[in-house]
Amino acid sequence: MTYPGQGGRRRLTAPEQASGPQTITDQGTSMSKRDEVVELASSNPISLLSGWGIRSEHAYLAAVVSLGLVFITWLVSRAKKDDRGRSEHWGLFLGEWVASLLALGVALKLEEKD
């Protein structure tokens, strides 16, 4: 990041100073591998997931598994009489992931079409 009054010099933060080996980009600036990954992920995280080989079917499968886990936790909470609240909380926690994983699957499906 460049600060006013520094004559265009870039001040390195502590993580950048300790990030290890540097590579030179086509713009002539020095960039570590971590910075390259962060830059790629900040541009479009769905493209990054797609580039890693994660397909929409994986997200849909994870949503179905999460839904199955919700059902299993619900059954366990009905069978247990002593600690019902904890099982119900786990069911609610896992249930929140279903919609997110389905939305991720739709986003990946749209990325696959492009």
State residue 78's pLDDT score.
Answer: 75
- Using pLDDT thresholds of 50, 70 and 90, give the confidence band for residue 35: confident
Q: Which residue has the higher pLDDT, 9 or 47?
A: 47
Question: Does residue 62 contact residue 23 with C-beta atoms inside 8 Å?
Answer: no
State residue 31's pLDDT score.
Answer: 66
Mean pLDDT of the chain: 75
HSE at residue 44, side-chain half, CA atoms within 13 A, is: 9
Question: Does residue 10 contact residue 1 with C-beta atoms inside 8 Å?
Answer: yes
State residue 79's pLDDT score.
Answer: 77
| 41: pLDDT strictly greater than 70 | no
pLDDT digits (tens, 9 = 90+) for 46-91: 888 888 899 999 999 999 999 998 888 878 777 777 665 676 777 7
